[in-house]
Amino acid sequence: MRPSLNAPCPCGSGQRYRKCCAENELITLPRLFHELEERHARTLKREAEFRKQYGYIRMPVTAVAGDKRMIAVGGSLLAQDGKDYGFVRTVHDVGLHFFGEEFLDQQSALPFEEQHVPIQWLSAWVDEHNLANRVSPGDPAAQQLGSGAAWLRLAFDLYTIQDNSALQTALRTRLLNPLQFQGARHELKIAALWIAAGFTLTYEDERDRLKTHPEFIAKDQFSDLIVAVEAKSRHRTGVQGYAGGKPENLRRADVRKLLTEAYKKKVDLPLYVFVDLNLPRPENPSERDTWVSEIQATIADMTTEGLHERGPVNAAFFTNDPSHYLLRDRLVGDQDNLWVISYRYEDPKVAHPSIDVIERIKLAFSHRVAPPSSYWDDE
């Protein structure tokens, strides 16, 4: 508290407060309030810009202390050497921490063909990244590899879940299991997608065998909307470590079986289904159109047969990321991009919500293409 204006000045000058320090302090306080208001306005502006580009995930929280950069990830704190340590490197390190030093050492001792799929992505990316730095230093295109995209997108999803929600023990176990990795990877991606769209996630007890369960329940942060989300992944023999099944045509979407399984879900909420197509890079610009036409024809046939009437699906999304097929190849254009198409079912068992969930999810999908390049909260 400030002293009375006629009281002796606290500085010990012997003068009255109003004749000594009061003038400077009364000028300084409004200036401090103004600076705080300006800083708060800058923070709000940065948050709005970040949200526009990356959705409703938490803006990275960091601080520089000496020669260290401290980064908050959920309830943990990472300490990185060097003030210029970029956010992509933080995402990379979150991926390394997830697998752990012991697991990584075990995997590095194996031949490349026997390594766990995400470790193959990491190994190929690091090898080619180091080679590019020697052969073409400073050429960013030389480092834009399929393996790097596959690894960093996995690590970005891990970061998003750990910083904004919680990684379920069962999902963590499946990500480490070569036989279950592909489906778990798809579920992780879809969970991060819904978080970026502004939803909080709740997982049901999978041990309850008396009813079918969706992957998770999503609650909108900005309304009373609650929906169910289901994730399905198209396994293909010899791809992403899957050794089962029979050799088949890798250039067909072939989603009928996955949709049939999705239709069997019994939930009393709007249900949104996400199918990972797991298709390679299109051989020509029209091949993706062929896949889209095949999916639309499959849905139309199943609707004509009355199969959809058995289930409550409100919309189905079909996503594809060919990066894991490329490994040591460069990403060269639109044919290597992630893509998504959606199908809105008419007259579902549970009415469509008033909120346009489909467009909101498609927008969030664009937010998940790549992690931020900077920390965003640096002054």
pLDDT of res. 379: 46
More confident residue, 278 or 285: 278
Closest among 41, 47, 45, 79 to 60, alpha carbons compared? 47
pLDDT tens per residue across span 16-68: 886 788 766 654 556 667 777 878 888 888 888 889 999 999 988 888 877 88
Q: Which residues pair with 273 in a beta bridge?
A: 230, 316
> Is the per-residue pLDDT at 128 higher than 90?
no
169 vs 285: CA distance, rounded Å? 41
What's the whole-number mean pLDDT along residues 250-267?
Answer: 91
pLDDT tens per residue across span 203-247: 976 666 666 789 999 999 999 999 999 999 999 988 888 887 777
- Does residue 78 sit in helix, strand or coil? strand
* Among 119-128, 269-278, 355-364, 369-378, the least confident range: 369-378
* Among 29-43, 89-103, 195-209, the least confident range: 29-43
Residue 141 — very low, low, confident or very high, per pLDDT cuts 50/70/90?
low
How many other C-beta atoms are found inside a 10 Å radius of the C-beta of residue 302?
17
**Alpha-carbon radius of gyration of the chain:** 26
> Is the per-residue pLDDT at 378 higher than 60?
no
Instruction: Locate 224 and state its tokens.
Output: 């009373």
pLDDT tens per residue across span 168-188: 999 999 999 999 999 999 999
pLDDT of res. 143: 65
Q: What angle do CA 328, 330, 333 make, to 5 degrees?
A: 145
More confident residue, 139 or 292: 292
105 vs 107: CA distance, rounded Å? 5
Domain ranges (residues) in the chain = 1-54, 87-367
Is the distance from CB of 167 to CB of 61 less than 8 angstroms? no
Backbone angles phi, psi at 270, to 5 degrees: -55, 135
pTM score: 0.87
Mean pLDDT, all residues of the chain: 87
- Does residue 318 sit in helix, strand or coil? strand
pLDDT of res. 26: 58
Q: CA-CA distances (angstroms) from residue 192 to 126, 156, 167, 354? A: 25, 9, 10, 23
pLDDT tens per residue across span 304-330: 898 877 667 999 999 999 999 998 888
* Among 100-104, 122-126, 236-240, the least confident range: 236-240
Instruction: Locate 22 and state its tokens.
Output: 């009061």
pLDDT of res. 30: 64
pLDDT of res. 3: 72
Instruction: Locate 315 and state its tokens.
Output: 């919309």
* Among 110-114, 139-143, 216-220, 358-362, the least confident range: 139-143
305 vs 120: CA distance, rounded Å? 43
> Is the per-residue pLDDT at 133 higher than 80?
no
